[in-house]
Amino acid sequence: MKKIEVIIKPFKLDDLKEALNELGIKGMTISEVKGFGRQKGHTEIYRGAEYKVDFIPKIKIEIVVAAADVDKVIEAVISSTRTGKIGDGKIFVLPVETVCRIRTGEKDKEAI
């Protein structure tokens, strides 16, 4: 099993959810996060004062899938979220040793 962590622009979330739904992936965890990479923030003006916004709002999606499904999920993420502009995001793939559903006690693939 693998955990896929995806950081994307907030306005791409619905497109990603639709693409994952088409793959049959129903479960995911979504968090609102802030960060920066090459974007390095931007400058805004509020009540006449200029200030720098260092951290850009992003969405973090966490999905646990069978190892065989990783490439399909990555392709779905890329095709549904790519704009071709800086700040499109990142995909991280991590190993998962064990998953346990608390309610039933099911483990691993059955718990996903």
Determine contact, residues 62/112, Cβ cutoff 8 Å.
no
Q: Residue ranges per domain, the chain?
A: 2-110
Which band of pLDDT confidence, cut at 50, 70 and 90, is reported for residue 7? very high
Largest CA distance in the chain: 57
Q: 88-102: per-residue pLDDT in tens? A: 999 999 999 999 999
Threshold 0.75, pTM exceeds = yes
Q: What is the pLDDT of residue 75?
A: 97
Q: What is the pLDDT of residue 22?
A: 94
Separation CA 6–CA 23 (nearest Å): 16
- Beta-strand ranges (E) seen in 1-112 are 2-8, 29-35, 42-46, 49-53, 56-65, 89-95
Residues 6+ apart with CB under 8 A from 101: 107, 110, 111
Q: What value does the mean pLDDT take over residues 31-37?
A: 87
The alpha carbon of residue 7 and the mean position of all alpha carbons in its chain are separated, in whole angstroms, by 4
Write the class of the CATH domain 2-110. alpha beta
Dihedral (C-alpha) 98, 81, 31, 52: value to the nearest 10 degrees? Answer: 140
Which band of pLDDT confidence, cut at 50, 70 and 90, is reported for residue 67? very high
Q: 72-85: per-residue pLDDT in tens? A: 999 999 999 999 98
